[in-house]
């Protein structure tokens, strides 16, 4: 399965997320995207089904594998302000389809970090390896350059 960037810009290791739950891979392995300009719409990282949806986070499932996207760190504190879900739980989504419209400028103004964890659920570190070349850049909807059975192997979602 190929997982694509839900928001554009700088790819970071999950350890760069200033939250011990994500940085410690307690939710699962993955990486993060530090969003830049134009990050006001987060897209589905895979072709699949919306399994969970919150204003600040969502899970898309493809082939029995879930990918969680969390828009910023501690953004749950905003209680939905500045976020507008564009899909519903149970909906079938295409890779790159808009999932949530959000206001990263307002979140940053509120003192929240914008870095977005992208996590492989029900996976282990051996299912995913980060790119050896270090941080890179990704356009929204572009493949995340990771290897492993979870993020890099198998058929492209679209």
d(Cα 111, Cα 109) in Å, to the nearest integer?
5
What letter does residue 131 receive in the DSSP assignment?
A: -
d(Cα 78, Cα 142) in Å, to the nearest integer?
28
Residue in the block written with tokens 């307690």: 26
Residue in the block written with tokens 């993955």: 30
Q: Catalytic annotation on 70?
A: yes
- Would you say 2 and 118 are in contact if contact means Cβ atoms under 8 Å apart? no
* Residue 70, both tokens: 């969390």
In angstroms, how far is CA 73 from the centroid of its own chain? 12
Say which of 31, 57, 70, 130 is annotated catalytic: 70
Q: Which active-site residues does the annotation give?
A: 70
């Amino acid at each position: 399965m190929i997982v694509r960037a839900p928001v554009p810009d700088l790819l970071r290791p999950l350890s760069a997320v200033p939250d011990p739950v994500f940085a410690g891979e307690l939710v699962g392995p993955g990486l993060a995207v530090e969003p830049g300009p134009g990050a006001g719409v987060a897209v589905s990282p895979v072709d699949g089904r919306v399994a969970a949806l919150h204003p600040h986070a969502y899970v898309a499932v493809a082939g029995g594998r879930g990918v969680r996207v969390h828009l910023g760190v501690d953004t749950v504190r905003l209680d939905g302000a500045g976020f507008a879900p564009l899909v519903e739980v149970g909906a079938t989504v295409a890779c790159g389809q808009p999932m949530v419209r959000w206001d990263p400028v307002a979140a940053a103004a509120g003192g929240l970090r914008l870095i977005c964890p992208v996590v492989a659920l029900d996976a282990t570190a051996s299912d995913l390896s980060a790119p050896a070349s270090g941080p890179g850049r990704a356009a929204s909807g572009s493949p995340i350059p990771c290897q492993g059975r979870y993020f890099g192997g198998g058929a492209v979602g679209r």
